[in-house]
Amino acid sequence: MNNKYSWSVVCGSLFAGLFGGIVSNWLFAIRPVLAQTAPLSSPKVLRAERLELLDKSGNVRGSLEVLPSGTPRLVLGDSTKGVWINDEALSIGDLRAGGRGS
């Protein structure tokens, strides 16, 4: 009788575990989350007159711009000293000197 009792406890435990797993999976099922779909058309070109690079404090550390003369210029540095590249040369120096480096 002890052996019959052991088998019934084992079978009952297995059934309870199986039933509990199925019910909990049905009650607390994780439903997939879908990301937003991409827009149908995304811009392939970014157009601007000036692009500025800022640090965490909001200070301008670089810019890409077109000068009034039509010359493109890339500047890396702060408002006083830096490196810039235009259609003529690579310059390093004082930006307050009208964009002419040393």
Average pLDDT for consecutive 10-residue bins of the chain (102 residues)? 73 86 78 71 81 89 86 79 72 60 41
Closest listed residue to residue 48, CA positions, set 28, 72, 69: 72
Q: Give bridge partners of residue 93 from the DSSP assignment.
A: 82
The predicted pLDDT at position 34 comes to 74
Q: Tokens representing 21?
A: 């797993």
Domain boundaries, the chain: 1-32, 50-97
Closest listed residue to residue 88, CA positions, set 77, 78, 74: 74
Closest listed residue to residue 82, CA positions, set 57, 55, 63, 65: 63
Give dist(CA 65, CA 62) in Å, integer: 10
Q: Tokens representing 26?
A: 């049905």
Give dist(CA 44, CA 56) in Å, integer: 28
The predicted pLDDT at position 96 comes to 59
